[in-house]
Amino acid sequence: MSLKKIGQQTWALGSEVRVLSSAAVVGPKEGKGLLKDDYDVVYPDLYAGQDTWERAERKMMEDAVDFAIHKSGVDRRDIELYIAGDLLNQNITASFSARTNQLPFIGVFGACSTSMQSVTLAAALIDGGFIDRALVAVSSHNATAEKQFRYPTEYGSQRPATSGWTTTGAGAAVLGEGKIGPRVTYCTVGKVVDWGIQNPDDLGSAMAPAAVDTIVTHFSDTGRTPDDYDLVVTGDLRVSGFNIAKGLLRQKKIAVDERFQDCGLMIYSPEQKDYGGGSGCASSAVVTFGHLFRQMARGKYRRILVVATGALYNAVTWRQGESIPCIAHAVSFEMG
């Protein structure tokens, strides 16, 4: 068997593993943002017809899954593995959705990097011949995340400008070998990077070094440069982290121009109060599985690099004075 790993941290996929279909569903705030025309469903409120926010998040993930499967034309019974994750304790959204769809299930956690972590695992298993088709899904919900990580939502605490606005929504995709859809060509698995930042209200600054580490490694492993991509997009660095990442990339002599963007900064319009930008698992998922893949199908982008970022902490560790370890996973998608 030929070695599929190149360089230090990148996997090169040799077969035609593609995103056969994808779907993105969002909450009302996201549905009024800049990408409002590229979502499959916009829910009128945060409850999505349910009686708790946690059940609402689960419904969003289940709906995204149903839309992705329907759009793929693949029979649900022919999907061999479901890989999913979220931000809630013990991955309850993913686990409960797996209870509903009754597919073989692997739950994963990479914080807000989970979207590309899931795609990486699914693509590798397909490329390795273990399965033919896989379903991936991630979600986050502003009210559930705030309640778990910070303060009760009803408390209405004042938040600093560096805070992210947890994106309410879910994204799902069906992957398999085929001739149509974005092809997964390279997956760069990130390493944990910790620069000692302890502020949970400035996760963008904490995640920026991890994003840069993965981007630099991807270019080194593959021999590519920013000029090989129409777009390099990070997950949810917020304004603070995005500016730090650009500065760090320039220090490493990597050109930064308008092709370098952040999913969290693409979701909301300037008129919306989003603090430092969108965050959460859904940030990179709804932008990638909704907006970016549609733009690729329309011919705007031929090759993109999605670098999903995640802060690997919980509500206990930062209160105990621990720093915030972070990670980023990158996936190259190409048309043709």
Q: Give the residue extent of every domain in the chain.
A: 5-177, 183-334
Q: What 8-state DSSP symbol labels residue 128?
A: T
Q: When comparing pLDDT for 157 and 130, which is higher?
A: 130
pLDDT of residue 260: 97
The residue type at 55? R
- What's domain 5-177's superfamily in CATH? Stage V sporulation protein AD (3.40.47.40)
Same-fold call for 5-177 versus 183-334: yes
Residues contacting 1, CB < 8 A, separation 6+: none
Give me the pLDDT at residue 23, please. Answer: 98
Q: 142, 199, 220: which is closest to 326 by C-alpha?
A: 199
**Amino acid 1: pLDDT:** 41
CA distance 2 to 179: 23
Tell whether the model's pLDDT for residue 291 goes beyond 60: yes
77, amino acid identity: R
pLDDT tens digits, residue range 243-275?
A: 999 999 999 999 889 999 999 999 999 888 666
Count of helix runs (H) and strand runs (E) in the chain: 10, 15
Distance from C-alpha of 132 to C-alpha of 32, rounded to nearest angstrom: 37
Tokens of 6: 């190149």
Query: With 80 as the cut, is the pLDDT of residue 29 above it?
Result: yes
pLDDT of 155 over the 60 cut: no
Sign of the alpha-carbon dihedral angle for 42, 43, 45, 46: negative
How confident is the model at residue 133, as a pLDDT? 97
DSSP β-ladder status, 231-234 and 303-311: parallel
Give the whole-number percent of the chain exceeding pLDDT 90: 83
User: What are 184-229's pLDDT values in tens digits?
Assistant: 999 999 999 999 999 888 899 999 999 999 999 999 999 999 999 9
Containing 55, the helix (H) or strand (E) segment is: helix 53-72
d(CA 32, CA 331): 28
Provide the CA 217 distance to its chain's centre, in angstroms: 19
Residue 310: the pLDDT is 96
Tens digits of per-residue pLDDT, 93-136?
999 999 999 999 999 999 999 999 999 999 999 999 999 999 99
Average pLDDT score, the chain: 93
Residue 162 confidence (pLDDT) above 70: no
Over residues 18-27, the pLDDT tens digits come to: 999 999 999 9
Q: Which are the contacts of 23, defined by CB distance < 8 A and separation ≥ 6?
A: 40, 64, 65, 67, 68, 71, 171, 172, 173, 289, 290
pLDDT over 70 percentage in the chain: 94
Where does the pLDDT of residue 174 fall: very low under 50, low under 70, confident under 90, or very high at 90 and above?
A: very high
CATH of domain 183-334: 3.40.47.40
Residue 236 is given by DSSP the state: -
pLDDT exceeds 90 at position 156: no
Cα angle, residue 304 at apex, residues 57 and 36 outer, rounded to 5°:
40
Cα separation, 111 vs 331, in Å, equals 16
